[in-house]
Chain A
Amino acid sequence: MKKPRGGAGLNVRKFGLSYWVAVGVLALLVASPFLSRILVYPRTEFFTELYILDANHKAENYPFNITRNQNYSVYLDIGNHLGYCAYYMVQVKFRNQTQLAPTSFGPIENRSPSSLPSLFNITAFVADEAVWELPLTFSFDYVLDESLSRVDFSGLRLNGVWLNMTGYTAAWDSEKSEYQGFLFFELWLYNASANVFQYNGRFVSLRFNMTGA
Chain B
Amino acid sequence: MARLTVGFAVFFVSVLFAVFVFGRPFLVFASSEADARSAIVAAENRVFECYRALSDAEMAGANVTGLLVKLNDAGALLSKADLAYAEGNFDSAVAFAVQSSSALDGFVEEASVLKEAAAQQNYLDFMVNFVGSGVGAACVLAGGFALWTFSKKREKAKGRGWVER
Contacts and interface: CB of A to CB of B under 8 A. Distances in A.
Q: Do A and B come from one complex?
A: yes
Interface of A: 1-6, 9-13, 19-20, 23, 26-28, 30-34, 37, 84-85, 87, 120-128, 132, 161, 163-164, 190, 192, 195
Contacts of B76: 123
Contact of A5 (B133, B148, B161): B161
A12 B161 CA distance: 19
Interface residues of B, number: 44
B147 A12 contact: yes
A185 B125 CA distance: 43
B72 A123 contact: yes
Interface in B54-83: 54-55, 58-59, 64-65, 68, 71-72, 75-76, 78-80, 82-83
A120 B72 contact: no
B133 A30 contact: yes
B133 A33 contact: yes
Contact of B52 (A10, A12, A128, A192): A192
B120 interface: no
A84 B51 CA distance: 12
Contact of A20 (B144, B161, B162): B144
Contacts of A10: 151
Given A5-B163, A13-B151, A127 B64 contact: yes
A30 B136 contact: yes
